[in-house]
Amino acid sequence: EDQVTQSPEALRLQEGESSSLNCSYTVSGLRGLFWYRQDPGKGPEFLFTLYSAGEEKEKERLKATLTKKESFLHITAPKPEDSATYLCAVQAWAGNNRKLIWGLGTSLAVNP
């Protein structure tokens, strides 16, 4: 069964304390892995798309990497404004239909 698992469920960091969030997946026919950020009371906001193992993308304090079985979202020297829920989603093909499978997210809190 296609599945996306994110860990940890929740993470609390001090400002400046770097860490990584994990997204592991088991899908057939991977066509892309997405990272989104969701703030309370809002819809998810796109961060990155990764397509193949070894690919890396960066944006400010965030860096996303991809292997054949998992993706990491590295947060370097986080600030309180980085507090949010980070969602991972994997796009796969099932026959003629493409489907986007979402993880449950990691809730990140960064204390000043």
Partner 1 sequence: KAGVTQTPRYLIKTRGQQVTLSCSPISGHRSVSWYQQTPGQGLQFLFEYFSETQRNKGNFPGRFSGRQFSNSRSEMNVSTLELGDSALYLCASSRGQAEGNEKLFFGSGTQLSVL
Positions that interact with partner 1 (CB under 8 A)? 31-32, 34, 41-46, 49, 51, 87, 89, 91, 97-100, 102-105
For the CB of residue 39, give the shortest distance to partner 1 in the complex, in Å: 10
Residue among 14 and 60 whose Cβ is closer to partner 1: 60
Cα 91 off chain centre by: 13
For the CB of residue 17, give the shortest distance to partner 1 in the complex, in Å: 26
Confirm if 29 and 101 have CB atoms less than 8 A apart: no
For the CB of residue 40, give the shortest distance to partner 1 in the complex, in Å: 11
Residue among 5 and 67 whose Cβ is closer to partner 1: 5
Which residues lie across from 88 on neighbouring strands? 35
Residue among 13 and 87 whose Cβ is closer to partner 1: 87
- Helix %, strand %, coil % of the chain (to 5): 5, 65, 35
Tokens 């997405």 sit on residue: 34
Residue among 76 and 101 whose Cβ is closer to partner 1: 101
Say if residue 60 is exposed, middle or buried (CB neighbours under 10 Å; 0-12, 13-18, 19+): exposed
